[in-house]
Structure 1
Amino acid sequence: MSQRQPLTILFADVSGSTKLFETLGDESARRIVSGVLQALAEITRHHGGKLIKTIGDEVMCTFPGALNGLLAATDMQKRVSSDPAFIRDNLAIRIGLHHGETLVEETDVYGDAVNTAARMASLAKREQIVTTASTVTGVTNTGPLRTRSLGTARVSGKLQPIEIVDVMWQDDISNVTTVQRVVKLVEAQQRKARLLLRYRGQAIELDELAPSYSIGREASNNLMVDAEWVSRTHATIEYKRGYWVLGDRSTNGTWVRLGEAEELRLHRDEIQLRSRSGTISLGQETGLNPDYVLQFQCIEA
């Protein structure tokens, strides 16, 4: 039986695991990453939370209240950043969370709060905690928690961008850049960063307030690339903090060429499209099947 209840949803993703798999091999790397995930599960239980599922190198957890989730997130970051074994392997985590109404069904949760938390996780960088301003505002006793505004972000299913914040978990924040208060929505709408994608006669234009744009073999993606070497949901493109960011979620990886630079392989990681133009090839090198290659152009107007 399903029921609705307010919960804090937290996603924590291991950063640095791709290189670990490449250098140590699958078995050794999986054992090390599992150690990180076990540590995150322990902290989740300590703060009254529940581990819902493990998705590759990511955990999804729920907490009864926003404060539980926020404190758990800070403890997760402190644990991973101070563990000698994790430091040795250059591992870190990025966390996104949100408190809101959820639909609870047996051992899983669904709904807008889950989608919003996942979006926060996608915005977070290595060693960062990103959450919605509403999650922090709803906490009456924040204690030692400190936050800074990160402006606004688009979330799928919401008409307007929402305000997001960075949770400052470090004991020493003297080296952290101060971010000014959120930009007014009217001002944000005046910015004109755009991305132009070309694929097999199609021309797609994204602006910086567009939601995450998905590419893959399934028809449910924003752009379908129907090829056997392409994953069902292969990659995403979104605008984050001044840059267009390509994220690979695939089995075979994504080949990217920025300008005239050498083509590189991206696998379960992200890259900023810093060049004004370039190419994206899903699942294989560009030269193997040129007809399936995407061209991109970054436009600032």
Structure 2
Amino acid sequence: MTERRSLTILFADVSGSTRLFETRGDEVARRLIGNVLNALGDVAARHGGRVIKTIGDEIMCTFPGPLHGLLSATDMQRRIKTDPEFVRDNLAIRIGLHHGEALVENGDVFGDAVNTAARMADKSLARRDQIVTTASTVNGITQTTGLRTRSLGQVRVLGKQAPIEIVDVIWQDDVANVTTVQRVMQNVDAAERCRLQLRYKSLVFEVDEGMSFSIGRDPASSLVVETEWVSRNHALIEWKRGYFMLADRSTNGTWLKIGDDDDLLVHRDEVHLRRSGTMNFGQAHRIDDADLVYFNCAEA
């Protein structure tokens, strides 16, 4: 029997699982990931959630309302960050969630709301230690304090004609460096002044708000990378919606690595540049690659 319900759908992925299998071996990695997913299921149950399924290093849960899902998501992050077993192996998760109408059938859940929630957890949007959700999911919450969000701007989601606004849920207990607005649902101003530093071989560049920084083989580019797999106008970095955005315009794509996360391929799309990491243009990262561009994004 198929039933339509209003649900909050949550996806949580173990970040960096590929490297875990490489460094710890198949048996140990599988056990560790299983322990993480079991812990996430326990947290979900305490908040009235139900585990729909686990697939590899991912868990899918549903909750009766947005508040249940949001509080569960923050507790999931705290659980992983405080459990000695997970801390020892530097394990982390990324979480995406969305509230909307879904079809419930034979214990599984389908529909547009599920697809949107899955997109929120995709590594092109959410990073390790991060919770990303739609603005519509948090807008209806009026009776909770302590939840803080930061706008991430608008993104396009498969199946949606118009872009949707997404937010980052701030779950860390230490929010000394976070500016909050005194509201029931506190909103973090993401548009504080930032600067981006890029380093390529012996060259160092400082990119400020309002600047456009181009990368490619074209001699007129801000950074010229002269390799055959790099396009003439390969990528552009611009300040948008309170973040530095990397927009790939190339034939072969741009490979991005942030912290300990897995490589992310950006192809004819754009992505937020956060924290620090490396970019490789036209090919995946290699240990001996001399053409890596190192970046660091920090408040000025």
TM-score (norm 2): 0.64
Q: How do residues 225-264 of structure 1 correspond to structure 2 at under 5 angstroms?
A: 237=267, 239-242=269-272
Change (3 A) 1:194 1:75: closer
Partner of 1:54: 54
Higher helix share: 1
Contact 2:99 2:113 in 1 (8 A): yes
Partner of 1:291: none
Contact 1:16 1:90 in 2 (8 A): no
Distance 1:87 1:51 in 2: 24
The alpha-carbon deviation at position 278 of structure 1 amounts to 1.5
TM-score (norm 1): 0.64
Contact 1:8 1:69 in 2 (8 A): yes
Distance 2:54 2:62 in 1: 12
- Once the two structures are superposed, residues 134-158 of structure 1 have per-residue CA deviations (whole angstroms, 9 ceiling, x without a partner) of 0001122122211111111111111
Ranges of 4+ aligned residues in structure 1 off by more than 6 Å: none
Change (3 A) 1:237 1:84: farther
**Do structure 1's residue 23 and structure 2's residue 23 form an aligned pair?**
yes
Distance 1:8 1:179 in 2: 25
The alpha-carbon deviation at position 23 of structure 1 amounts to 1.4
Partner of 2:32: 32
Partner of 1:204: none
The alpha-carbon deviation at position 241 of structure 1 amounts to 3.7
Contact 1:149 1:180 in 2 (8 A): no
Structure 1, unpaired ranges of 5+? 182-186, 200-234, 244-271, 282-301
Partner of 1:83: 83
2:40 match: secondary structure:
helix
- Matched positions, count: 213
Distance 2:42 2:245 in 1: 45
Contact 1:5 1:103 in 2 (8 A): yes
Q: How do residues 1-301 of structure 1 correspond to structure 2 at under 5 angstroms?
A: 1-122=1-122, 123-175=125-177, 178-180=189-191, 194-198=247-251, 237=267, 239-242=269-272, 275=279, 277-279=281-283
Change (3 A) 1:194 1:140: closer
Change (3 A) 1:79 1:280: closer
Change (3 A) 1:128 1:275: closer
The alpha-carbon deviation at position 195 of structure 1 amounts to 3.2
Distance 2:120 2:113 in 1: 11
The alpha-carbon deviation at position 196 of structure 1 amounts to 4.1
Structure 2, unpaired ranges of 5+? 180-188, 193-239, 253-264, 286-300
Change (3 A) 1:192 1:74: closer
Distance 2:266 2:41 in 1: 28
Q: Aligned letter for 2:248?
A: L
The alpha-carbon deviation at position 15 of structure 1 amounts to 1.1
Give identity over the alignment, percent. Answer: 61
Distance 1:82 1:274 in 2: 28
